[in-house]
Structure 1
Amino acid sequence: MKILKIASIPGDGIGREVVPAAIKVLEAIADVHGGLKFEFVEYPWSCEYYLEHGAMMPEDGLERLKEFDGIFLGAVGNPKIVPDHISLWGLLIKIRREFEQTINLRPAKMMNGIRSPLANPKDFDLIVIRENSEGEYSTVGGTIYQGEDEIAIQNAVFSRKATERAMRYAFDLASKRRSRVTSATKSNGIVYSMPFWDNVFKDVSKDYPDIQTDSQHIDALAAFFVTQPERFDVIVASNLFGDILTDIGAAVMGSIGIAPAANINVNGKYPSMFEPVHGSAPDIVGKGIANPIGQIWTAKMMLDHLGEEELGHQLLDVVEGVTGDGILTPDLGVRNTTKEVTEEIIHRLQAL
C-alpha cells in the first residue's frame, strides 16, 4: 500500500468549499486504485487565523509542512479583513520561497463541454512554465520621501541559475509533449533583464536540438494567446509575465474557476504545493456554486508529481466526461452546484 501524506490548507473563501470536494475525489480515486491511500492533515491557516493569532501561520508552520509529500492549498486572501500583501506574503509566498518552489506550472486547454469565449479556439493545449522565485517579484527596493516627492523603487532580480532552471524545466517538459518552447520576453523595452533572459534562452536551447523554439515579446504573446492559442505548446516566462499569461490562459478556457497550478520544488528537499488559480472569490462564498474543477484539476497535477500519472490522466478524463455532458457550475453558464459536479465525478470514478 502506497501512502501519500498531504497537508491540506483550505485557506479563505471558496477554498473551504472546493478543497473538501477535491479531497473526496482523491479518496475516491484511491479506492479505485486499491494500492493507494491518502492521509490528509488539515491546517486552519487563513485570514481569520491571522485576526486571532497575528500571523498567517504559526512560527513552526513550515517545520510541520516539511514532513508531508505534498501541500494542497485552496485559496488565500480576504482583503476586507487582512491586506493582500500581508495574507499572501505570510502564507502562500512564504511557502513558495522558503520551500524553494522555484517552478510554477499552469496548463490551459480546451475542455470538453466548456465553451471558450473565443470564436474559434482550435483545440489549444498549452502549459506555461513560470519562474517562481525571483524576477519582477523580488523584495529588493524601497520607498523614500513623502507627498509629491515620494519615490518607490522596485528592483527585478534575474539570476542565471534560476532563469536557466526554469528554461531547462520547460525544454524537458516539451520533449514529452509537442517539442516546442516559446520564450516570453520584452527585450525591446526592458534593456537589461530581458536581453539577459534572451541570451540564457539561446544558450539553453543549444542543448535541446530537437526542440523547436521561438521568442515572443510579451505584448504580442498576450495577443496571440487570444487570437492563436493553438500555436503554443510550452511557454517559459518570468514571474510577472507568467502570472499575466496564465490568467489569460484561464480566461480563454472559459473560466478562471477551472484553472489549476502547481508550485514545484525541483531539488526534493521540500514538498511541492498545489493550488487552483481562482483565489478566494468572496462574492460567491457560501452559495454552493463554486466551481470545484480548478481544485480537482490541481489534484490531478499533484497525482502526476507524486508518481501517479496514470491516475492523473484517468481523473482528468472523467472530469472532461462530466463537463462534456454539460454538468457545470454557473460560472460556465449552467446551474449545477459544487456538490452536484463533485458527486458526478466521484460516481464516474467509482464506475471505472
Structure 2
Amino acid sequence: MKTYKIAAIPGDGIGGEVISAGVEVLQALAKREGHFAVAVDTFDWGGEYYKTHGRMMPANGRDLIRHHDAILFGSAGHPDIPDHVTLWGLRLAICQPFDQYANVRPTRILPGITSPLRGVEGNELDWVIVRENSEGEYAGVGGRVHQGLPIEAATDVSMFTRAGVERIMRFAFRLAQSRPRKLLTVVTKSNAQRHAMVMWDEIATTVAAEFPDVTWDKMLVDAMTVRMVMKPQTLDTIVATNLHADILSDLAAALAGSLGIAPTANLNPERTFPSMFEPIHGSAFDITGKGIANPIGTFWSSVMLLDHLGEAAAARRLMAAIERVTGDARFHTPDLGGHARTTDVTAAVIDAINGANS
C-alpha cells in the first residue's frame, strides 16, 4: 500500500480548525479508497511560534518538510504581528525557495451556493486563475532608507524575468489546452507598466504560437474586473501576475459565493520540491475558536492535492462529496448564510465519502 507523507502546517487563526478537518477528511478518504494511506506530520509554525522563538518557523524548517509528498497549509496572519512578517516568515518562506511558481485557483459556483451576481448560473462561472507565484510584485526586491526622516524613501521593485514569464505562460496555455473550452485570457497592465508588462505581453504572444488550438485574448487588469462581473461566461482560464491574480482571485471567490470555499494549489510542476495546498480565506481571527469556519476551501484544496499525487479517482470522490454537501443548505456555514458548524460540514463530507458509489 502506498503511504503519502503530508506536512500539515495549520498556521494562524482558523487555520488550525480547517486543517484538522482537512486531515480528518483525507484519512477517511484513504480508508474508503483502501489502496493508499496518509501519514500526517503536523508543524506548529506561525504567529504563536513567533512569539516564543522570534521567527515564524525554525531555521531548518524547509529541511523538515522537503521530502514530504505534499504540504497542507492553513493560514498566515496574526493580529499581534505585522502582516509582512507573518507572510514572508512562513508562507512565502516556503513557496519561493521551493519554487512553487504556479499558483492555481479554480473558481466555480458549487451546488446549493448562490452567486451574488444577478442571474448567473453555475455553468456561466467556471474559471481557473493561474497566478505567477515566484516573482513580479512579490519578488521582495526593494528597501527603505532614511527611516523616520522627512526624506524617507521606500521601494518595492517588480522583477520579471524572461524565464519566469515563459514558464508561467506555458503552464497556463497547457492548462487551457486541457480544458474543454481551450480558452485563455492573459491579464496585463502594459498601458501603464511599460517595461515589465510589455515584456509579459510579448512573451504571451510568442508562447501562444506553440498552442494553435488555444484561443486567447489579452485584458487590462482594471477592465478585467468589469468583465468578471458583467460577462463571467466569456472567461475560462486566466493567467496574471503575482499581485494582479492575488486580487482577481479574491474577487472570483466572492463572485462564486464565499472566500470560505476557495482552494489554492502552489505547484512546483517539475516536482523538485513538494507542492503546497491551502484555502485562500486567511486566518479570520474574528471567528477563530467559534467553530464556524467553513472547511470547504480546505477540502477542495485537498482535491487538488490528491490530483497532484496522481490519485484522480480519490480526488473525484472527494469533489463529489463536497458538491453533495454544499447542495444541502443544512450544511452551510455562516459565510454562506447558514448555521452549520465546521464539525457538521466535516462529518457530512465524510458521510458522503463513505456513501458514494464505488
Residue matched to 1:151:
153
**1:89-108 C-alpha deviation (Å, 9 max, x unpaired):** 11100000111111100111
Tell me which of 334, 347, 352 is aligned to 2:338: 334
The answer to whether residue 147 in structure 2 is matched with residue 166 in structure 1 is no
* Residue identity in the other structure for 1:191: R
Residue in 1 that maps onto 2:51: 51
CA–CA distance in 1 between the matches of 2:261 and 2:232?
A: 17
User: How many Å separate the matches in 2 of 1:122 and 1:343?
Assistant: 28
Distance (whole Å) between structure 2 residues aligned to residue 122 and residue 202 of structure 1: 32
Partner AA of 2:353 in structure 1: L
Question: How far does residue 149 in structure 1 lie from its aligned partner after superposition?
Answer: 2.4
Q: Does 1:218 align with 2:231?
A: no
The separation in 2 between residues aligned to 1:232 and 1:99, in whole angstroms, is 30
**Deviation by residue 1:20-78 (Cα, 9 ceiling, x = unmatched):** 11111111111111101000000100100111111111111111111100010111111
**Equivalent residue, structure 1, for 2:62:** 62
1:1-352 pair list within 5 angstroms = 1-78=1-78, 80-123=79-122, 124-145=125-146, 146-177=148-179, 178-326=181-329, 327-352=331-356
Structure 2 residue matching 1:153: 3-state secondary structure: strand
Structure 1 vs Structure 2: percent identity of aligned residues? 45
Partners of 2:312 and 2:233 in 1: how far apart? 24
Structure 1 segments unaligned to the other structure (5+ residues): none
Q: How far apart in 1 are the matches of 2:309 and 2:27?
A: 15
Whether the 8 Å contact between 1:121 and 1:228 is mirrored in structure 2 is no
Shift of 1:14: 0.5
1:122 and 1:230 in contact (8 A); partners too: no
Letter in 2 for 1:218: V
The 2-side partners of 1:274 and 1:101 are apart by 11
Letter matched to residue 13 of structure 2 = G
Moved more, 134-143 or 88-97: 134-143
Distance in 2, Cα, partners of 1:346 & 1:242? 32
Deviations 1:257-298 (A, max 9, x none): 111101101222110001110001000011110001011111
TM-score by length of 2: 0.96
Q: TM-score, normalised by structure 1?
A: 0.98
Measured in 1, the distance between the counterparts of 2:353 and 2:293 equals 21
Q: Structure 2: which 5+ residue stretches go unaligned?
A: none
State the shift of 1:305 in Å.
0.7
